[in-house]
Amino acid sequence: MSYMSAKLSKHDLLDPPDLSRTDKHDHAFAVEPGTWMGYADGTVIFINQTWQSFEAPEIAGAKQNTHWLTILHPEDIDQAQAAWIAATQKNAPLHIKCRLSTPAGWQWHWMCSIALPAQIAQNAWQITATPVQARNDDVQSLTQELQNYRNMLDASVDCIKMLSPEGRVLHMNAAGCRALGVSESEGFGQRWLDLLPQEVRAAGLRALNRAARQGKKTQFAGMSVSGGKTQYWDNALSPVVNAQGEITAIFCLSRDVTLQRQAEKRLRIASEVDALTGLPNRRVLQAQLTRSLRKHNDSRQFVGLMLLDLDHFKHVNDTLGHVAGDHLLRALSKRLQACLPDSAFIARLGGDEFAIVYSGFTHIREFLELARHVHHQIDAPVTYAGKLINGGMSIGCALYPRDAQDLSGLLKAADTALNDIKAGGRGGVQMYSIKMMQSAIRAADQLERSRQIVRDKAIEPHYQPKVTLADDRVIGFEALLRWRDASGLHYPRGVEEAFKNYDAATKISEQMRQKVFSDMARWYQQGLPLLPISLNAAPVEFLRDDYAERLLHSIQQFGLPPTLVEIEVTEHSLTERNAEYVGRSLNVLKKAGVRIALDDFGTGHSSFANLRDYPVDCIKIDRDFIHRMQDETVIAAIVKAVCQLGPALNLQIIAEGVETRQQCNALLTVGCEVGQGFLFSPAMPAEAVEKMLADWKQRFQLLPPQAPPIDSHNKLHRIR
């Protein structure tokens, strides 16, 4: 009820509104507590309608100036008067229970007083009279409401506690009692920290002090053990402040996060442990390496890193199945774990790759001996389903701080050493050297350059004639890779590393084929006499079993006869792990009419068995043999033997790198009929070949060939 204002006069307060004209909204006023405003001596400032109903009929005429004590029961006046005098003298609130004279008779009321603000009246008071029954009803309602709140708190699975600022338990819901193993009778009043496990009390004390002393919300992780079961909790403490901003209590909410912690643990294990072998994974390896490097940052001890790669692991999966491959990995993991000292750490990086970190040694010899010991673990075969799995292993090693100054550099150095030993034939242990890094950088530069060449479509094929040695007549061409940029024309050695990479090699070869076949198709449409053109295929291009199909599709795309195309493969291609793909592709091409040439014969593991097992039409003797045959009788004998066996095996023999007339004559002497080299012509651009073919057509009145075969009876064209 808004019964006063700083602008109201005393006259206004003594003239209450006429209740005879109240509407239904004003009826609520009649049931309000009785209100008396006046001075300590009993002089009245204001009384409301409810208070007026308290006054006895015999003194009704003096209502406006009646002391509030006059409406009390005679037996209650002395006690009330003494309390009133004490309250006014001490300027303290009054709170007593008295009987008042009401129209219904004497009834018990609660009498409460407060001092009025000075803006209303100086040294004035307000007395409020509330029936005891109404007060009891309010208390009962409040009690029921509190019980409802308590039931709601007890229904919560969270542990809810109210603590004193000193840390004693003032109240705790049922979940909190169960979690801490106490009952209400024994838990309330205890020190909260004493109810916590010893391990988390320090964290709980810091959180309590922060909330109680600094008034800040805070959190900490907790744990409880009940019946042998461990539970984990997240605890949040919030200070409770009164109107004056004083901290009166600490509200503590504890939530059971055991299931969440268990799920996090499972996820952490899944993210840190290799499911197949149980070893730590790459993520944990990096963390372990980081700790090891930090620990030995200022010491004179080394941190060694080994990267292990199983040789030809794919062959195990392809022949025995992935289950056998998984068995090999698990068996090897156990062997490696058993052979390592306590100071070593092993992890599986993925696939057939492992890593070992060995720290705290001062002699490199010690690290190398451990690496060799690790390498010997693959020597004994692994048995699976009654079959022996024999394998090999390559290990690349690097040292901190000798080879690298940080984690990234150490991983890169060890990987460089591993790639170096794999490129050299696999198997064994290889320590990193700066020369390897220079080679790796050069290889990376070449790979990037090859990608740029493909993006810029900068490939420019050049064609070197193949001629008969006896009369210098052209019988075909070999298409050689060239590429051009702003600095001029470049040779393949600038991107040779690309031909060890499947993706780079296939993209370069595809663009090379497109341009060669485009030249051939243009010459064919111009009615020029075409000669067969050979293209080189890198061994890595056969890593996927679709080389033949891709090549034949390109030939068909340009409408060329397959007999005008020849593919040159090296001996190395026939001895690689993917030799079966090579064999299938060559047979498909041979069946379609494409000729097959064995390039650089004599530089690899030369075997005439390859000539028997693969559909080879031509052997090209490597230029190194040609250059040495005049000075070395053994080389000359080898060249002679090959030239004499060729016709017997129905193979054409071509000598590469013929540069002098003496070499040409020597080859004729041993029976070689066809060659190519600078003696006859360097590789020439497409425009020069087109001009040569046009000249031949005009001079000899030649017709365009309809897929002519290549043999010694072809119409030959002399180089002019």
Residue pLDDT, tens place only, 432-487: 988 877 887 888 899 999 999 999 999 999 999 999 999 989 999 999 999 999 99
pLDDT at 605: 54
Q: Which of 296, 408, 406, 299 is nearest to 359 (CA)?
A: 296
**CATH annotation of 156-261:** 3.30.450.20
Q: What is the pLDDT of residue 97?
A: 87
* Fold (CATH) for 273-431: Alpha-Beta Plaits (3.30.70)
From residue 76, give the alpha-carbon distance in Å to each of 36, 72, 90, 96, 308.
18, 6, 21, 10, 100
DSSP string, 445-456: HHHHHHHHHHHH
Separation CA 423–CA 146 (nearest Å) = 81
For residue range 192-224, list pLDDT tens digits in order. 888 888 888 999 999 999 999 898 999 998 877
Where is pLDDT greater, at 349 or 57?
349
Mean pLDDT for 340-358 is: 93
The first and second tokens of residue 695, run together, are: 């000249």
Residue 146: its pLDDT value, please?
A: 59
Q: Looking at the domain that runs over 10-138, which CATH code has it been given? A: 3.30.450.20
Residue 284 has pLDDT above 70, yes or no: yes
Structure tokens at 64: 């406006």
pLDDT, tens digit, for every residue of 65-77? 578 888 888 898 9
Instruction: Write the CA distances from 212 to 31, 241, 417, 540, integer angstroms.
Output: 44, 10, 61, 72
The pLDDT of residue 576 is above 80: no
pLDDT at 715 over 60: no
Exposure of 569 by Cβ count < 10 A (0-12 exposed, 13-18 middle, 19+ buried)? Answer: buried
Give me the mean pLDDT over the 517-546 stretch. Answer: 92
Range of lowest pLDDT (572-581, 638-647, 652-661): 572-581
CATH topology of domain 446-597+615-623+654-718: TIM Barrel (3.20.20)
| 8-state DSSP, 273 | B
Confidence check: pLDDT of 11 > 50:
no
Helix (H) or strand (E) holding 465: strand 462-468
Q: Residue 636 is encoded by which pair of tokens?
A: 């000359």
Supply the DSSP symbol for 300: S
Encode pLDDT of 371-407 as tens digits.
999 999 988 888 888 888 888 899 999 999 888 899 9
Q: How confident is the model at residue 10 (pLDDT cuts 50, 70, 90)?
A: very low
Dihedral sign for Cα 418, 422, 425, 428, please. Answer: positive
Instruction: Name the residue with higher pLDDT: 52 or 484.
Output: 484
The predicted model gives 609-616 an average pLDDT of 77
State the number of CA atoms in the 13 A half-sphere of 690 facing the CB: 14
How far is it, in rounded angstroms, from Cα 187 to Cα 190? 6
Identify which has the larger pLDDT, 114 or 29. Answer: 114
The span from the CA of 625 to the CA of 622, in Å, is 6
Burial of 432 (0-12, 13-18, 19+ CB in 10 A): buried
* pLDDT value, residue 604: 58
- The structural domains of the chain, with segments of one domain joined by +, span 10-138, 156-261, 273-431, 446-597+615-623+654-718
Residue 281 pLDDT > 60: yes
Nearest alpha carbon to residue 589 among 623, 621, 541: 541
Over 90: is that where the pLDDT of 667 sits? yes
Lowest mean pLDDT among 122-131, 300-309, 653-662: 122-131
**210, 227 Cβ separation under 8 angstroms:** no
Pairing between β-strand 229-241 and β-strand 218-226 as defined by DSSP bridges: antiparallel
Ramachandran class of 244: left when φ > 0, alpha when ψ lies in -120 to 50, beta otherwise: alpha
Residue of 671, 641, 632 lying closest to 469 (CA atoms): 671
Cβ neighbors of 651 (< 8 A, separation 6 or more) are 611, 616, 617, 618, 619, 645
Are the C-beta atoms of 145 and 121 separated by less than 8 Å?
Answer: no
Position 450 scores a pLDDT of 92
Q: What is the mean pLDDT of the chain?
A: 83
Chain centroid to CA 188? 49
> What pLDDT, on the 0 to 100 scale, is given for residue 520?
96
Beta carbons of 679 and 663 less than 8 angstroms apart:
yes
427: left (phi over 0), alpha (psi -120 to 50) or beta: left
Q: Provide CB contacts within 8 A for 417, sequence distance 6+.
A: 307, 396, 397, 398, 430, 431, 432, 433, 436
What is residue 57's predicted lDDT score, i.e. its pLDDT?
45
Domains 156-261 and 446-597+615-623+654-718 share a fold: no
Q: Which amino acid is at 362?
A: T
CA dihedral over 402, 407, 408, 412, signed as positive or negative = positive
- Judged against a pLDDT cut of 60, whether residue 20 lies above it is answered with no
Distance CA 508, CA 487 (A): 20
How many Cβ atoms from other residues are within 10 Å of residue 151's Cβ?
A: 11
Q: Does the pLDDT value for residue 19 go beyond 60?
A: no
Residue 101: pLDDT band (50, 70, 90) is confident
pTM (two decimals): 0.55
DSSP β-bridge partners for residue 252: 161, 237
